[in-house]
Structures are given as structure tokens and as C-alpha cells.
Amino acid sequence: MASVTGTDNGDGFGVKGVSASAAGVVGEGQAWAGVVANSVTGSGVSAFSDSGAGVLSLSNTGPGVSAQSVRGAAVQAKSDYGAAVSAEGPAWAGVVATSQSGTGVSAFSDSGTGVQSLSNSGAGVSAQSVQGNAIEGKSDYGIAVKASSGSGIAVTARCDGNHGIESVTLSGDHAALSASNIAQTAGIGVYGIAKGQDGIGVRAESAAGGNGVAVFGSSKDGRGIVGTSVENTGTEGNTVSGIGVFGRAMGSGRDDRPATGRGVVGMAISATGVEGQSDSGAGVWGASQEGEGVHGESNSSVFAAIAGIQLNERSTAAGIYGEHRGHGPAGYFKGNVVVTGHIEFAGADCAEEFALHPSVPSDMCEPGTVMVLAADGGVSASAKAYDRRVAGVIAGAGNYRPGIVLGRDSASESKIHLALMGKVFCKVDADSGAIEVGDILTTSTVPGHAMKATDPSRAFATVLGKALAPLPTGRGLIPILVALQ
């Protein structure tokens, strides 16, 4: 039985206690609640104190204060400067609040702490709600809920079927959840652990799209984001149509301090540093505006800096492919080249660069023109029959292109590619004799043209090659096989 009972006498209080400096009402219960207050619509317990505790309750085993309300607040406390409710529990919860559908604990403070709870070993505040919020905090300018701990965990939240902690903000300049570690060295700002199989320690989601970022890591001198794993992927990025992992090295904004950072770096002791895989696209893509698209270096004495291997035995595609969209080389090798198989050329002849004699007119240096050696070491168009100085045919006429070009000098502009052997289209003159397939050809009196060699005594050392197509009369362009003799 309660040692003190009170009935409202019309003033609105069943029991009223007033104190200038001490507790207004003191209740002690050895095995149950020191004070029990029930209310249908109003406050179960309403306490006011100028400087002391509004309600002070001590209990050895049960709750110090047990309050229940059907519609109103179970416990309502107000303080202008001090703590509205102060609860201490040596071995159990300082305050226990239970609500079926409303707020377990609702606290408001103008400038101080809405709820302050101290506990030696148990939870400072233990809140449970079946459908509503277990703990709800609101602050117009300050911190809605603040928790501190000397060596333990400041806040522990557990939920069996939903989020343990949910934080929401309407501000576009502030975080919904902010964690700071003010330790001088080391320390972790946010730590997440998932103990279940296939669990996620920390998960972030940007739902609105646009340029939103799910996870943003920033550091002035250290690393923005670090992912480590003992036997699996340290950091993984997945996307349907965007970029799985994107790395960017930003410029410094100063001409005297250009950017020297690297967008993506992969390092491994014995495995692959950076690996790219794709079912139908490019496994690794490298592009640059001014530098190298892909650069590979190696200090190994047996392995290549860049290796391309075609694993499909039935494939006709190359292991390494190079293409130049302009007129430059598709591949450049500075050093020796070793080929263990055969070399295939789409071109039809072997040519070499020769300088043009200054006296050669422009119409006498077009592809298909027969050329002879000049006195200065260059070449000029042939102009007499059976010329022992015959050197070859300018390559590139018709649909034949050189397969090999020797003596290439990109700095010179007055040079031509002269076919020395192989197939090439050549200007021929059939007026001196009809040309049949297989006929031996030599120089003609018509400048830059070849003709059928009909005088065996003069043909030695003047043979240009053999005709691969006939020309009965006149002049024309036919394919020949260059074979100087």
C-alpha cells in the first residue's frame, strides 16, 4: 500500500509538495515504485522546483519513478536553467520510458539539456516503442540529442526489423548524420560493422540522382577513401550504365604548380596492380589529350612492359592492335624487333625513299612513273630506252600500296617511295610493241614509261620487271612485277 495517498480537493493536486531548496516530494519504495502517478488526460506527475530536483525518487530494486498515462504525458518536467528530469541508476536504467504508439520520452528545453541521464554501469536512457519513436529529440538551434561517454559507447541503438538509427535533415548545407573524432592522432569518425553473413558495415545511397554522391571522402594530406579486405575486394564500384570506379587528379589552379596526382593507382606485390574485365567492351580503356593513352613500364629482365595475348585459338584478331587515323605510324619501335612467326603486309611491294632531282617536273613524279638514278644520288624520270640507270617505279598507283618502306625520313618533303621489288602499277608504252603477260619490261623513250624489251643484247642490266597484264597498243597503267636485273 502507498504510505501517502491524496485526493484532488479542487485545486488540481492530489498530493502537492513545495520546497524552496530541497525536494518537493520524496518517495521511497523498498520493492516497488517510490511514487506511482496515474492520469487519464493530464500529467501523471507535474513537478516544479526553483533550484532543487522537481521530483526526487529513490528505489532499491524497482524504478525510482513509474508513470503511466493513457493520453497525456506520463512524466512532464520543466526547468528554466537546470535539468528538467535527472535520473540516476547505479545498475539499471536511470529512466525507463514505454509507449504503445506515441513518444516514449518527449523533452523540450529552451537553452539547457532536454533530457539528462547519468548511469554508473547501465544505460543512461533506455527507450522502447512498439510503433512510434523510442526517442525523439528536437532543437531549434542546438543539439537535439547529445550523448557522451568516458570509455564506453555514447549511443547504442538496436532494431530487430528496421534501422537502428535514422537521421533526417532538410538543410542542403549540413549532414543528416555527422560524426567527429577529435583525437590528436588516429581515431575513427564513423565505424560500421556487420556481423551477419553478406552484411554491409556502412551503406550510403543518393536517391535523387543528378550529380549526387552516395559516399564522399575528402582529405587534405591523407587518403580520401580506403578500402581493405583480407580475401576479397577492398573497394568495389558497380554501375549499370555509368562508371563503376572513377578517379580524377584535379589541377592546382596555378600555372606554376601543375597537377602531379594520379587518377587511379593500383599496387600489388605479386598479383595484378590494375585489372580490367569486360564481356563485350574494352577491358581497360586509356585516353589522353596530350600524353600517352596507356603507358607501361617494367624493370623485369624477362617480362614485357606491355603484353597483348589473344586467347581464342580460332580468332583472326590481333594480340596487339595499333591504328593511326591520320598519316602517322600506327606503331613505333625504338630498338630491335624479334618476330618468331611470319610477317604479313597488306601492301604489295617493297619500296625505299629517294630524293627527287631538282629538275624533275611535278607531272613526272606521280605514282606509276619509271625512275632512273640521277648524278646527285637522287632519282629522275626515265627518258631513254634500255637505260642501265633504271631504279624502279614510284609506288602508290592503282590499288597497290607499299608493304615496306625503307630509309624513311619524315623530315624530308621532297622524297618519293620507289618500288624496288614486288607488285606495282606502272606506266607502259605499247606503241613500240604489244605487251603480253610475262613480257620483260625496260625503260622507254617516252618519259617515265616502260616498254617491252625486244633486244636481248641491250636488255642486260636494264630490266625493270615483268608484265602482269597485257596492253596491245597505246599507253596505259598496268600491274607489273618489279625485278631489277
Residue 457 pLDDT grade (very low, low, confident, very high; cuts 50, 70, 90): very high
Residue 444 pLDDT grade (very low, low, confident, very high; cuts 50, 70, 90): very high
Q: What pLDDT score does 433 carry?
A: 94
Mean pLDDT of 97-125: 63
Q: What pLDDT score does 346 carry?
A: 83
Mean pLDDT of 52-75: 61
Distance CA 96, CA 344 (A): 86
Strand locations in 324-455 (E): 349-355, 370-373, 379-381, 390-394, 402-406, 415-429, 440-443, 450-452
> Which of 368 and 104 is assigned the larger pLDDT?
368
Q: What pLDDT score does 328 carry?
A: 85
Q: What pLDDT score does 466 carry?
A: 97
Question: Taking the model in full, what pTM does it have?
Answer: 0.54
Residue 25 pLDDT grade (very low, low, confident, very high; cuts 50, 70, 90): low
Q: Strand 465-467 vs strand 440-443: parallel, antiparallel, or unpaired?
A: antiparallel
Q: Is 91's pLDDT higher than 60? A: no
Q: What pLDDT score does 212 carry?
A: 75
Q: Is 415's pLDDT higher than 90? A: no
Q: What pLDDT score does 222 carry?
A: 74
Residue 413 lies in a domain: yes
Indicate the helix (H) or strand (E) that contains 187.
none
Q: What pLDDT score does 71 carry?
A: 63
The pLDDT tens digits for 142-172 are 677 777 766 667 777 776 777 777 777 787 7
Mean pLDDT of 79-90: 61
Under 8 Å CB-to-CB from 419, ≥6 apart: which residues? 349, 350, 351, 392, 393, 394, 395, 402, 482
Cα torsion 346, 347, 349, 351: sign: negative
Q: What pLDDT score does 52 carry?
A: 61
The mean pLDDT value of the chain amounts to: 78
Residue 381 pLDDT grade (very low, low, confident, very high; cuts 50, 70, 90): very high
> Which of 200 and 44 is assigned the larger pLDDT?
200
Q: What pLDDT score does 235 carry?
A: 81
Q: What pLDDT score does 384 carry?
A: 96
The burial of 223, by beta-carbon neighbours within 10 Å (0-12 exposed, 13-18 middle, 19 or more buried), is given as: exposed
Mean pLDDT of 382-398: 96
Residue 437's CATH number: 2.40.300.10
Distance CA 264, CA 233 (A): 16
The answer to whether 371 touches 354, Cβ cutoff 8 Å, is yes
Q: Is 140's pLDDT higher than 90? A: no
Q: Is 82's pLDDT higher than 70? A: no
The pLDDT tens digits for 278-312 are 888 888 888 888 888 888 898 999 988 889 999 99
Residue 394 lies in a domain: yes
> Which of 103 and 400 is assigned the larger pLDDT?
400
Q: What pLDDT score does 53 carry?
A: 59
Cα torsion 474, 475, 480, 485: sign: positive
Q: Is 364's pLDDT higher than 90? A: no
Residue 409 lies in a domain: yes
> Which of 380 and 36 is assigned the larger pLDDT?
380
DSSP string over 356-369: BPTT--GGGSSTT-
Residue 25 lies in a domain: no
Residue 405 lies in a domain: yes
The region, left, alpha or beta by phi > 0 then psi within -120 to 50, assigned to residue 210 is: left
Residue 113 lies in a domain: no
Q: Is 403's pLDDT higher than 70? A: yes
Q: What pLDDT score does 439 carry?
A: 97
Residue 361 lies in a domain: yes
Domain total of the chain:
1
The pLDDT tens digits for 183-241 are 888 778 778 888 888 788 888 787 776 777 777 787 777 777 888 888 888 888 888 87
Domain that holds residue 464: 350-483
Mean pLDDT of 437-455: 97
Q: Which of 39-53, 108-122, 153-167, 405-419 has the largest mean confidence?
A: 405-419
Mean pLDDT of 360-381: 90
Distance CA 376, CA 358 (A): 10
Q: Which of 280-289, 325-334, 381-390, 404-413 has the largest mean confidence?
A: 381-390
Q: What pLDDT score does 226 carry?
A: 82
Residue 383 lies in a domain: yes
Residue 123 pLDDT grade (very low, low, confident, very high; cuts 50, 70, 90): low
Distance CA 234, CA 266 (A): 11
Mean pLDDT of 446-465: 96
